[in-house]
Structure 1
Amino acid sequence: METAITTIIEALREGACVDAAWLERLVRARNRETADASRTVAKRRLLPYYWRVKSDDAARFASWNVTPEIERRLVRLLQAKPRRTASGVATVTVLTKPWPCGGDCLFCPSDVRMPKSYLSDEPACQRAERCFFDPYLQVTSRLRVLADMGHPIDKVELIVLGGTWSDYPPAYRRWFASELFRALCEFGEHASGETAARRKRYEEAGLTSNPDELARRFARAQDAVNAGVLGYNDFVQVHYDAAVPGGAARETGRTGECSETGAPNRPGSRTDASPWSAVSAWQTAAAEEVDRWHRANETARCRCVGLVVETRPDLVTFDSLVELRALGCTKVQMGIQSLDDAVLAKNARRSTSSQIARAFALLRLFGFKIHVHAMANLVGAAPAADVADYRRLVTDAAFLPDEVKLYPCALVESSRLRRLFESGAWRPYGEEELVGVLAEDVLATPAYTRISRMIRDIPSPDIMAGNKKTNLRQLVEERVRATGRPVREIRLREIATDTPAGVDLRLDVVPYATSVSDERFLQWMLPGGRIAGFLRLSLPFPADALPCGAASPLPAGCAMIREVHVYGRAAQIGRTGDAAQHQGLGRALVERACAMASEAGYGSVAVISAVGTRAYYRGLGFCDDGLYQTRRLGKPGR
């Protein structure tokens, strides 16, 4: 391994053309020379080996004589999966523990090992289960993998999945958030001892992270849920100690946990011996603990530049959004699935289109980025109706999301949709129908909206009916290109890992109106329409012009910067390079937005800053001001 690394370093020092093909030839040559299989060279092993020597063997590392420029080129050469940080940040996805869900949608999976709607063999879910759903363990584990792959990890977006955030107890929500930030702050020398101690604590409580053992323990309960004999909520409520204040599990009067034999216990019973009972007792935190780790993260090595949680439209209230801001949240994922009330009712959704509209209004007034889940092929839907429904989502002023996940409905065994499929009351679209619907959705998407995903990470064996092709997005994009029609959606236009030429950039402004504000989407564009960065500016309407039920947390005359994002390969804080980041593009966007707000008559502008970006905005003249950071604006022309 060392010979391969030093050969690469020497070639870089001599200015040789060192690219992926050159590296592949080197690896093959080294392996032909090595008889011992345990010493086989692989690209994925080279960078972790380099970091290990740099960290643990100072004398050896000094002998390599690696300059900062050589290290930069070495890391870029050996970096695995560069798209992971192509959007400018390192994304870390974590899951909350299984918990009873306030909904019971027909299409939703009911894996008793997971939070509602998630499956135990999805990649992020497997990582979470191996970490006992502990936020600290999940974050540190993922950061280590990303660092070993060569990705900068100083700017981290935390995505919290796991059913509905607001369904969990407030003390657990505070604990989970504080531990996320603690993990970011302590990553490195302090994390190894803490992770070992935590794992020991979970194991001493009687929990296991062994997937085979977990599959054995949960098999009978899962069979009962799949057969409709046992409810997901009933099992999870008992097994995971889903307690109400005071520590007592909720009495339901319905069938409780399955025993080891698979037989349900008596109605309303609980298992006091559940290991989660002891664990739940210390998964609590006060607001002061959250604030402590927020302050520490402002200057930490790994800073949080975004915190995302999931919720339902009917749970979006003024008070719930105040709490989310206090926890450091900047983006909300919201499952809406459809805007058709009849379709929502047929799929046992508890939200209505009016509740969805109210949630959009509140989220926008609070400055949150709004990331929605839309689902084609629901019970009662049809291809043409799905296209019309999505068009309403992206054109009606009551909605207009910032990001969308387009999830075609797929049947998994543990969902209640199975009965309708077996009776012929629901059928999945054929590939031609589905690709056609999604292609029309892409073409209808405006310039200020990003389609982040088109499929869930559901393993093919788990899908009983519906799309199983992992390259569905590729098929859709091919169909879109074949139409010859222009595409405005962000993801297809972002520069990814490319390096923009600053002289070719121009600033474009897309205005649009919502039910509560005038919006301005400022974007740095390259020739051909590609996008290098953007800013979302919201100019809220006066209080007397807001729809019923909508209220703003901002004082009158205050505009809101809801998002600033610069694309390109992630660059470390405080460093410049040839990527788009740290070239002043973000600062220029903020200054232009402030000028536009001033010209529109607003006296101040707030920014929904992440905890790890507070210092950046202070440098741009913003002051800490409760839930936000604000900046006074001069009169136009000053």
Structure 2
Amino acid sequence: MKELLFDILAILRRSEVLDAKALAQLVRKHNENISDVSKHCAKKKLYPFYLRFKENHPEEWQALHIDSALEEKLISCIRMKPRRSASGVATVTVLTKPWQCKNNCLYCPNDIRMPKSYLTDEPACQRAERNYFDPYLQVASRMKALHEMGHPTDKIELIILGGTWCDYPQSYRVWYIAELFQALCDTTEQRKQRIDERKAWYEQLGISAQSDTLKRATEQLQARVSSHEISYNQAIRHLYQESSAWIRVSEGQQAPFSRVFDLHKRNESCAHRVVGLVIETRPDTITCDNLREIRRLGATKIQIGIQSLHEHTLALNGRKNEVQQATRAFELLRIFGFKIHAHLMANLYGASPDDDKRDYNLLVHDERFLPDEIKLYPCALVDGTGLVHHHQNGTWRPYTYEQLVDVLCSCMYDTPDYVRISRMIRDISAQDILVGNKLTNLRQMVEQHAQASGKPIREIRYREIGTHDFNPNTLAMTETAYRSTHTQEFFLQWKDQHERIAGFLRLSLPDESYVKAHENELPIRCGEAMIREVHVYGAVAHLHKRSQGAQHLGLGKKLIERACEIAKSAGYSHMNVISAIGTREYYRKQGFSDAGLYQQRSL
């Protein structure tokens, strides 16, 4: 590994190109004469080796005379999966523990080792199970992995997946958030100590984190669920809510709001700041009271499972949510300032390709909805679901590859420039999918087909500058205005000459009549505008340091100033921003003051 690292440095000193292909060839060359495969070099081992070498051999490292520019080139070369932090933040995904679900959707997996709809083989699920579904342990594990892959972890977006958030007891929800922030506020040494203590606690209670052990312990019960002899909820009650070990665990999974607020304050200036907190829930749980609590906990974005906007399709698939509930959910989420991340499924039982296209068009163009971000993925057949029966009797079939690509391409063309399609597949392993799409590169295939058509693609993810080089002098700010049911929306974006997006801002101007009519329910008052999101792209820049990406060029500040100008000229007296805990300091520097659920600036 040392020789390989030195060879890489020598190539970089000569300013020669060392892209992913060239690096792979260099690694293969080093492995040619090593017969023991266990001693082979690999790219994934390079970054951890570099860190250990620099820390354990400081004199030898200094003797190499590596300046900051050369070290940055080295890091960029050996960093694993660079796109993981290309959006401007490092993402940490965690799962809540298995819990009962109020729905029993036809397509939904029933893995009793997981929260409803998730499967054990999904990467985030594997990590959650290895860590007892403990939020602290999951964050610590993911942070370690990101560090070893070469990703900065000073700006973190926390994504909480699993069962419907609002269905869990409030005491658990508060504790869960507190543990997430505790893990990010602790020092490395504190984390090591807490990890050992926490794991020992679970083991003493008889809770296992070994996949093989858990599989053996649950396989008979899982078989009964898969054959529909008992329900998923009955199995979950037996395994978790009636288990003496898990009852004792639950007794320790409680915390007061005061602990969360104390950790929020610490996180404002700690080394790993939360710049986004995302929770997942259903439309029917979106109420003013729930949103107030979610906001108090620090959340800034809501993932909401819509799946379909056709009442008949929802009913056929056992989805109890109604379109009216979705309409109300979008209305409240936007007024409260949250970013809205909607889930939509293609190829549901009872739907057709034309239905899916119409559904998507309605979602992104009808004033009642208009999400900011979308997970758009095809329905796949998983064993043990109610959909298996319909496949067996021929009443449901997966779309052909051509049909699926046609639907997804149509949706991409239909997407406005203020919407981001974040995903086109679930992380379900091919072995778990009986029939349906198994291509892990489905999005890439769709984009290739879409590009070949010559039609413009405006959705955000396709246009992100990401890891590309760009000239800041070519950037220009543009504005897109659009209406929702009760707000005037503005999407401000920085674009270069290739239409690539370097940063954006979402501004909402609530209708005065709506705010007046609901003033006893809402956290805002008449005359208050809302910045719902400010995001600048580019490889994650360390706090207070300039990077080669779009961050720290003053782009965010200029977006904020323009948003304030728009709101002021429209007659608004104050600007609110739904700031994340780790961005409060930044907004204070832009003239905002803490004001309850938001930060506020007078116009």
TM-score range, shorter chain: over 0.9
Corresponding residue of 2:350: 380
Corresponding residue of 1:186: 186
Cα deviation 1:59-114 (Å, max 9, x = unaligned): 44444443322221211111111111111111111100000012111111110000
Check conservation: 2:515, 2:522, Cα contact below 8 A: no
Check conservation: 1:516, 1:547, Cα contact below 8 A: no
* 1:566 equivalent among 523, 526, 536: 536
Check conservation: 2:496, 2:502, Cα contact below 8 A: yes
Q: Distance in 2 between matches of 1:476 and 1:509?
A: 28
SS at match of 1:559: strand
Q: Give the aligned residue type for 2:130.
A: R
Q: Give the aligned residue type for 2:102.
A: G
Q: Give the aligned residue type for 1:145.
A: A
Q: Give the aligned residue type for 2:167.
A: D
* 1:623 equivalent among 581, 593, 596: 593
1:96 is the counterpart of 2:96? yes
Q: Give the aligned residue type for 2:482.
A: Y
Corresponding residue of 2:201: 201
Point out the more displaced range, 445-454 or 201-210: 201-210
Check conservation: 1:443, 1:485, Cα contact below 8 A: yes
Name the CA shift for 1:43/1:465 in 2 (closer, same or farther; >3 Å).
Answer: closer
Check conservation: 1:362, 1:551, Cα contact below 8 A: no
TM-fit CA distance, 1:441: 1.0
Corresponding residue of 2:487: 517
Name the CA shift for 1:444/1:21 in 2 (closer, same or farther; >3 Å).
Answer: closer
Once the two structures are superposed, the pairs formed by residues 362-381 of structure 1 within 5 Å of their partners are 362-381=332-351
Q: Distance in 1 between matches of 2:133 and 2:528?
A: 40
Corresponding residue of 2:287: 317
Q: Distance in 2 between matches of 1:383 and 1:34?
A: 53
SS at match of 1:379: coil
* 2:407 equivalent among 437, 443, 459: 437
Point out the more displaced range, 41-50 or 394-403: 41-50
Q: Distance in 1 between matches of 2:23 and 2:432?
A: 38
Name the CA shift for 1:435/1:103 in 2 (closer, same or farther; >3 Å).
Answer: same
Q: Distance in 2 between matches of 1:207 and 1:29?
A: 46
* 1:411 equivalent among 353, 368, 381: 381
Corresponding residue of 2:217: 217
Corresponding residue of 2:231: 231
Corresponding residue of 2:118: 118
Q: Distance in 1 between matches of 2:516 and 2:349?
A: 34
SS at match of 2:462: coil
Q: Distance in 1 between matches of 2:161 and 2:564?
A: 34
Q: Distance in 2 between matches of 1:297 and 1:239?
A: 35
Check conservation: 1:6, 1:64, Cα contact below 8 A: no
Check conservation: 2:486, 2:514, Cα contact below 8 A: no
1:74 is the counterpart of 2:74? yes
Once the two structures are superposed, the pairs formed by residues 358-507 of structure 1 within 5 Å of their partners are 358-507=328-477
Q: Distance in 2 between matches of 1:75 and 1:21?
A: 16
**Identity of paired residues, percent?**
50
Corresponding residue of 2:49: 49
Q: Give the aligned residue type for 1:44.
A: K
Name the CA shift for 1:141/1:43 in 2 (closer, same or farther; >3 Å).
Answer: same
Q: Distance in 1 between matches of 2:216 and 2:116?
A: 20
Q: Distance in 1 between matches of 2:448 and 2:529?
A: 40
Corresponding residue of 2:258: 288
Check conservation: 1:361, 1:550, Cα contact below 8 A: no
Check conservation: 2:519, 2:525, Cα contact below 8 A: no
Q: Distance in 1 between matches of 2:36 and 2:111?
A: 43
Cα deviation 1:533-589 (Å, max 9, x = unaligned): 100011111144788899531121010000011112111111113211111111111
Once the two structures are superposed, the pairs formed by residues 342-357 of structure 1 within 5 Å of their partners are 342-357=312-327
Name the CA shift for 1:516/1:12 in 2 (closer, same or farther; >3 Å).
Answer: same
Q: Distance in 2 between matches of 1:409 and 1:448?
A: 26
Corresponding residue of 2:159: 159
Q: Distance in 1 between matches of 2:423 and 2:277?
A: 18
Check conservation: 1:372, 1:405, Cα contact below 8 A: yes
Name the CA shift for 1:277/1:40 in 2 (closer, same or farther; >3 Å).
Answer: same
Corresponding residue of 2:248: 278
Q: Distance in 2 between matches of 1:31 and 1:465?
A: 39
Name the CA shift for 1:460/1:550 in 2 (closer, same or farther; >3 Å).
Answer: farther
TM-fit CA distance, 1:38: 4.7
SS at match of 1:229: coil
SS at match of 1:240: helix
Check conservation: 1:543, 1:552, Cα contact below 8 A: no
TM-fit CA distance, 1:32: 4.0
Q: TM-score, normalised by structure 1?
A: 0.91
Corresponding residue of 1:247: none
TM-fit CA distance, 1:57: 4.6
Point out the more displaced range, 135-144 or 186-195: 186-195
* 2:299 equivalent among 320, 325, 329: 329
SS at match of 2:378: coil
Q: Give the aligned residue type for 1:4.
A: L
Q: Give the aligned residue type for 2:31.
A: N
What is the alpha-carbon root mean square deviation over aligned residues?
1.9
TM-fit CA distance, 1:331: 0.3
SS at match of 2:600: strand
Name the CA shift for 1:550/1:155 in 2 (closer, same or farther; >3 Å).
Answer: same
TM-fit CA distance, 1:214: 1.1
Q: Give the aligned residue type for 1:488.
A: R
Check conservation: 1:515, 1:546, Cα contact below 8 A: no
TM-fit CA distance, 1:139: 0.8
* 1:576 equivalent among 533, 546, 550: 546
Cα deviation 1:171-202 (Å, max 9, x = unaligned): 11011111111111125232112112211111
Q: Give the aligned residue type for 2:396.
A: W
Point out the more displaced range, 431-440 or 123-132: 431-440
Aligned length: 603
Q: Give the aligned residue type for 1:146.
A: L
Corresponding residue of 1:240: 240
Q: Give the aligned residue type for 1:231.
A: S
Q: Give the aligned residue type for 1:533.
A: G
TM-fit CA distance, 1:327: 0.7
Q: Give the aligned residue type for 2:94.
A: V
Cα deviation 1:40-70 (Å, max 9, x = unaligned): 3222112101212334454444444433222
Corresponding residue of 1:257: none
Check conservation: 1:119, 1:125, Cα contact below 8 A: yes
Q: Distance in 2 between matches of 1:283 and 1:398?
A: 38
Q: Distance in 2 between matches of 1:550 and 1:105?
A: 36
Name the CA shift for 1:439/1:547 in 2 (closer, same or farther; >3 Å).
Answer: farther
Corresponding residue of 2:143: 143
TM-fit CA distance, 1:21: 5.2
Check conservation: 1:516, 1:546, Cα contact below 8 A: no
Name the CA shift for 1:439/1:551 in 2 (closer, same or farther; >3 Å).
Answer: farther
Check conservation: 2:527, 2:573, Cα contact below 8 A: yes
Q: Distance in 2 between matches of 1:609 and 1:61?
A: 41
SS at match of 2:459: coil
SS at match of 2:531: strand
Once the two structures are superposed, the pairs formed by residues 606-621 of structure 1 within 5 Å of their partners are 606-621=576-591
Point out the more displaced range, 415-424 or 170-179: 415-424
Point out the more displaced range, 25-34 or 589-598: 25-34
SS at match of 2:502: strand
SS at match of 1:190: helix
Q: Give the aligned residue type for 2:231.
A: G
